[in-house]
């Protein structure tokens, strides 16, 4: 399940700005208490988040294989050799392009389905809307592993419902069609699963946005004879621009990091690793091939790309908070 990283907090972060001028200055006891209160969380975050992040960079600069990992050989500082090796490998570029295209398809899919269904939900009465929202909440809440297994089962070569139904309607050749063998078909199946569990976030966010548009604006559009498509294009999308940017970047960040669905549905990256994305690639390099240095380099590249996206996210979010 996915949860937006930074929801608007009730009460807001700036509740007591402007201080209390009448208050006696009590800086030092406050600081001491604050340190005491912050210490446990600070320790955990420093040890489990900041230090590993630093270590990720360090490991990527060493020749770090099975021998070094088991302590059998001394660590050998190799500078940027891991990166040079990585960028010289055609496979890395294939995986990078695959990751970007796969993430793009998932993002476009979730946004299209999410926005479309939000508009649909805003035009129907409460009962069908509740049914849709309940179903969407179910898809949203399903753990990635469970969602992956049930989609695999539905599309199973031998016992899957989908093949059975397709064969039933007369597509004879589809009887034993494998949905996980071909590179593009397998990616398509995983993308469909990802869209299934990530469109609800977009739908619910955009639906709330549509609800916040004054009704007379929408009524005026309807009175002027605007079609739903036209209303969406000329009223809803421009008015919800900020919200849509945030939902888009949030989706990009999520879909770029997908691990579980690819790992479970393509059995660790597909036949001969042709369904790898960066995340799974780094994992396989490190823990299957014992190239920890190379795996860490992939991790650094991924972190760098996500950092760039995140900066865009923060800027977009700041943009929406302005009245």
Contact set for another protein, span 169-198 (CB under 8 A): 196
Tell me: does residue 3 bind another protein (CB under 8 A): yes
Ranges within 242-261 binding another protein (CB under 8 A): 257, 259-260
Tell me: does residue 100 bind another protein (CB under 8 A): no
* Angle between the N-to-C axes of helices 126-141 and 183-212, in degrees from 0 to 180, rounded to the nearest 10: 130
Tell me how far apart the alpha carbons of residues 308 and 303 are, in angstroms, rounded to a whole number: 9
Nearer to another protein, 106 or 286 (CB): 286
Nearer to another protein, 177 or 259 (CB): 259
CA distances from 231 to 115, 210, 242, 317 (A): 13, 11, 18, 25
Nearer to another protein, 29 or 79 (CB): 29
Q: Which stretch binds another protein (CB under 8 A): 79-87, 95-103, 233-241, 303-311?
A: 303-311
Tell me: does residue 66 bind another protein (CB under 8 A): no
Q: What is the dihedral of CA 241, 244, 249, 250, to 10 degrees?
A: 140
Q: Which of 99, 251, 279, 284 binds another protein (CB under 8 A)?
A: 279
Tell me: does residue 121 bind another protein (CB under 8 A): yes
Tell me: does residue 10 bind another protein (CB under 8 A): yes
* Angle between the N-to-C axes of helices 292-321 and 51-59, in degrees from 0 to 180, rounded to the nearest 10: 130
Q: Which of 34, 67, 73, 84 binds another protein (CB under 8 A)?
A: 34
Nearer to another protein, 121 or 235 (CB): 121
Tell me: does residue 319 bind another protein (CB under 8 A): no
- Residues 235, 213 contacting (CB under 8 angstroms): yes
CB of 297 to another protein, least distance (A): 10
Tell me how far apart the alpha carbons of residues 15 and 57 are, in angstroms, rounded to a whole number: 38
Exposed e or buried b per residue across 279-288, where buried means at least 16 C-beta atoms within 10 angstroms of its C-beta: bbbbbbbbee
CB of 183 to another protein, least distance (A): 20
Tell me: does residue 8 bind another protein (CB under 8 A): yes
Tell me: does residue 78 bind another protein (CB under 8 A): no
Query: Residue 76 — left, alpha, or beta (φ > 0 → left; ψ -120 to 50 → alpha)?
Result: beta
Nearer to another protein, 49 or 97 (CB): 49
Q: Which of 21, 24, 88, 134 binds another protein (CB under 8 A)?
A: 134
Q: Which residues face 77 on adjacent strands?
A: 62
- Residues 243, 236 contacting (CB under 8 angstroms): no
- Residues 211, 118 contacting (CB under 8 angstroms): no
Q: Which of 61, 86, 117, 252 binds another protein (CB under 8 A)?
A: 117
Among all chains, which residue has been given the structure tokens 């989609």?
151
Tell me: does residue 19 bind another protein (CB under 8 A): yes
Tell me: does residue 204 bind another protein (CB under 8 A): yes
């Amino acid at each position: 399940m996915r949860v937006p990283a930074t929801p608007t907090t009730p009460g807001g972060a700036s509740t007591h700005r402007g201080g209390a001028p009448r208050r006696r200055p009590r800086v030092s006891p406050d600081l001491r208490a604050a340190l005491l209160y912050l210490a446990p969380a600070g320790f955990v975050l420093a040890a489990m988040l900041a230090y590993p992040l630093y270590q990720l960079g360090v490991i990527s600069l060493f020749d770090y294989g099975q021998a070094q990992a088991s302590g059998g050989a001394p660590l050998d500082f190799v500078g940027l050799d891991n990166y040079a090796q990585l960028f010289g490998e055609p496979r890395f570029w294939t995986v990078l392009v695959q990751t970007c295209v796969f993430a793009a398809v998932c993002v476009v899919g979730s946004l299209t389905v999410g926005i479309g269904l939000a508009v649909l939900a805003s035009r129907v009465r409460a009962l069908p809307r509740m049914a849709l929202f309940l179903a969407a909440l179910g898809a949203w809440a399903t753990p990635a592993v469970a969602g992956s297994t049930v989609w695999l089962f539905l599309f199973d070569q031998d016992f899957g419902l989908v093949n059975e139904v397709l064969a039933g309607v007369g597509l004879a050749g589809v009887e034993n069609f494998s949905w996980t063998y071909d590179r593009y078909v397998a990616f398509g199946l995983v993308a469909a699963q990802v869209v299934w569990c990530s469109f609800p976030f977009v739908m619910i966010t955009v639906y709330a946005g549509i609800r916040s548009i004054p009704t007379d604006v929408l009524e005026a559009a309807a009175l002027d004879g605007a079609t739903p498509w036209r209303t969406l294009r000329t009223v809803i999308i421009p008015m919800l621009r900020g919200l849509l940017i945030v939902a888009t970047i949030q989706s990009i960040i999520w879909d770029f990091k997908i691990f579980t669905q690819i790992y479970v549905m393509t059995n660790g990256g597909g036949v001969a690793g042709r369904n790898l994305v960066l995340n799974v690639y780094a994992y396989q390099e490190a823990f299957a091939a014992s190239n920890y240095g190379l795996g860490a380099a992939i991790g650094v590249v991924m972190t760098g790309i996500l950092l760039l996206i995140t900066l865009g996210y923060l800027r977009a979010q700041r943009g929406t908070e302005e009245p």
